[in-house]
Amino acid sequence: MAKESIVTLTVPALPEYVDLVRLTLYGIASKMKFTFEDIEDMKVAVSEACNNAVLHAYGGAEGKIEIQFASYDEELAITVRDYGRSFTASENKETPSLHGKSINEIQSGGLGLYLMQALMDRVDVQNDGGTAVTLTKKRMKSEETA
């Protein structure tokens, strides 16, 4: 049995660094032999988590995002952590409030947790001196994989 392997990436909480996170995810998920579709789903979910941190965590001040990729035998857990102000997951988890938001605000955010939950096998949110979103995807057994 292969043991856990962890890669940690720390980037400034700026939009231009989200692509670097996506590239790192692609490299790790490819080595783990995830399907192209699963990798694309994970890239969208991780982008949403990173964008939430970029847009909301630091209120325009400088900050950083720490992304941890923990690979196990059959799954990859990606934790996106910021050290900014937390949002209340219970408010956003089940029914994100769309009241008072324009269509542009709804499209650019607010449905991020729904999207992450739809694309990943498990989504966990912790608020402890910041916000940590852990996205987990199990690798499917495939006949194509030799």
Domain count, the chain: 1
> Confidence class of residue 142 from pLDDT cuts 50, 70 and 90?
low
Establish if 113 belongs to a structural domain: yes
Lowest mean pLDDT among 27-31, 32-36, 82-86, 127-131: 82-86
Q: Are 11 and 67 in contact (CB under 8 A)?
A: yes
Write the pLDDT tens digit of every residue in 19-78: 999 999 999 999 999 999 999 999 999 999 999 999 888 888 899 999 999 999 899 999
Domain of 26, in residue numbers: 5-138
Establish if 144 belongs to a structural domain: no
Establish if 143 belongs to a structural domain: no
The pLDDT, as a whole number, for residue 4 is 83
Lowest mean pLDDT among 15-19, 121-125, 141-145: 141-145
Task: Give the residue-averaged pLDDT of 80-104.
Answer: 55
Establish if 145 belongs to a structural domain: no
Establish if 146 belongs to a structural domain: no
Establish if 10 belongs to a structural domain: yes
Contacts of 29 (CB under 8 A, 6+ apart): 38, 39, 42, 76
CATH number at residue 97: 3.30.565.10
Establish if 110 belongs to a structural domain: yes
| Residue 116 CB burial class (10 angstroms; 0-12, 13-18, ≥19) | buried
Establish if 20 belongs to a structural domain: yes
